Amino acid sequence: MVNSNNDAIVFIEGLEHKRFVMPYIKILNNIGIKTLVVSFEDLLITKKNFPQLTFLVIPKSDLLKFAINAQAKIFLTTTPGVGTRYFPSSKALPNNSRPKYVYVFHSLVSPNRVYSKNSFKNFDYILSPNNLISSQLKYLTKNSKILTIGYPLLNEKINKNSQLENSILIAPSWSQNGLLSNTSKLKEYINYFMDLDLEITLRPHPMELNKSKELKKIFKENVIFDFDKNLDNLHNYKYLMTDWSGISLEYFYYKRSPVLFSTSSIKKRRKLTLKERKIKLIEDQARTHLGIVFDLRSKSVLEDIKDYQIDNECIKFCEEIYNPKFQDSNVEQIFKKLV
C-alpha cells in the first residue's frame, strides 16, 4: 500500500488549491510528520525543501481506489464531500489504520448555500477560518469537531508597489448560471470597462477553463486572459469585479479598496433550511459592506469608488471575517494530538 507508511495524507485536486494548503503542508513538514501529498497534477513543490513529504500524482479515475485504501492518522483536504460515493472514506483494514478526516477552507464565504448537501457531515475535524463560519457549520454537521483557527492566506505579505494602474480584474465565481455562462452580459461589462479606458483582465474560474477557447474567440485582443491558478497577483489590480465569489473578501483584505459586484444570479448549490434563512450569509454581506453593486446603466462607477467610505458596519463585518489571526503553533498542537 503506497500510503501505509505515512502519518498524514494531504489531498489537493490541483494547483488552484495549492495556496490554501501550503501553510498546513509546511507545518506538517516542520514538526516531522511524514506526509503523502496526492493531487491530480504536479504541484511544483521542491522536494529538497520538504524532506518529510512524498508526492503522488494520480489520474482522476484512480481517486476512488486511492480513497478507499487510504491509511494514515490524518487525511487533510480542501475537497468537501468525504464519505460520499464520489469521494469515499477509507475502508482499509484493520479499522484503526483508517485516518481522521480534516477539512480546511479554500474560501471565506458561508458554507451553507454554495456547497452541496453533505459536504461537511463526514469530516472528523473542520478547521474553520472564523467564528462566524464556525457558527454556520453547526447547521451542516453534528459529528464534526469544529476548530476556529483563522485563515492562513491573510498572513501573506504583499508588494504594494506592484499595482497595475488603470487595470481591472474580472473574476467570476464558478456557477452553472454565472457570468461566464452569459457571454452577452459579460461582453456588455467588458465594453463598459473599455469605455472607461481600463486594461481588462478576465480570469475564468479554474473549474470553468473549458470555456476559455470560446471566450478568447469572442473578446480577442480586447481582454487579457489570466489562467494562473495560484492567483498570487490579486493585489496588483486597481479594481476587481466579481459576483458572489470569495475573491472579494481576499481582495478587500489586501487592498481596503471597494469591490465592484455584478448583478448576477445568486450562486447556490442547495436550499437553505428554515433555520439557516435567519442567518446572515457572508457573501450577501460582502456585497453590502465591501463595495458597490452596479448595473450597466451607471455612468459614474469610478466616481462611486472614489466616494466609497469604510464605515463602522464595514469595520465590524471585517472583524468577524478576518479574525482570529492564523498561528502555526495552534495548528501544530492539533496535528500533534492527531498523530
- SS3 label, residue 334: helix
In this prediction, residue 66 carries a pLDDT of: 96
Which helix (DSSP H) or strand (DSSP E) does residue 218 occupy?
Answer: helix 212-219
Angle at 41 between CA 37 and CA 42, to 5 degrees: 70
For residue 209, name the pLDDT band (cuts at 50, 70, 90): low
pLDDT digits (tens, 9 = 90+) for 258-308: 999 998 878 888 999 999 999 999 999 999 999 999 888 777 888 888 889
Query: Do residues 101 and 89 make contact, with C-beta atoms less than 8 angstroms apart?
Result: yes
Residue 122, pLDDT above cutoff 90: yes
Strands 8-12 and 35-39: parallel
In this prediction, residue 159 carries a pLDDT of: 64
Number of alpha carbons in the 13 Å side-chain half-sphere of residue 147: 18
Angle at 297 between CA 296 and CA 300, to 5 degrees: 95
Round to whole Å and give the CA distance between 88 and 106: 20
Over residues 165-182, mean pLDDT: 82
> Percentage of the chain surpassing pLDDT 70?
94
Contacts of 209 (CB under 8 A, 6+ apart): 227
In this prediction, residue 293 carries a pLDDT of: 92
Residue 142, pLDDT above cutoff 80: yes
Q: Where would I find the beta strands (DSSP E) of the chain?
A: 8-12, 35-39, 53-57, 74-77, 100-104, 125-128, 145-148, 164-170, 199-202, 224-225, 237-242, 259-261, 291-293
In this prediction, residue 232 carries a pLDDT of: 77
**Bridge partners for 201 per DSSP:** 169, 224
Residue 228, pLDDT above cutoff 80: no
Residue 3, pLDDT above cutoff 70: no
Round to whole Å and give the CA distance between 169 and 211: 17
pLDDT digits (tens, 9 = 90+) for 312-338: 999 999 999 999 999 999 999 999 999
In this prediction, residue 1 carries a pLDDT of: 42
Number of alpha carbons in the 13 Å side-chain half-sphere of residue 13: 10
* DSSP string across 294-314: --TT-S-HHHHHHH----HHH
| 312-322 helix and 247-255 helix, angle to the nearest 10 degrees | 110
- SS3 label, residue 2: coil
Round to whole Å and give the CA distance between 21 and 271: 29
Q: Please indicate, yes or no, whether the overall pTM of this predicted structure exceeds 0.85.
A: yes
Query: Do residues 204 and 180 make contact, with C-beta atoms less than 8 angstroms apart?
Result: yes
Domains of the chain: 8-150+324-338 (3.40.50), 160-322 (3.40.50)
Over residues 154-175, mean pLDDT: 81
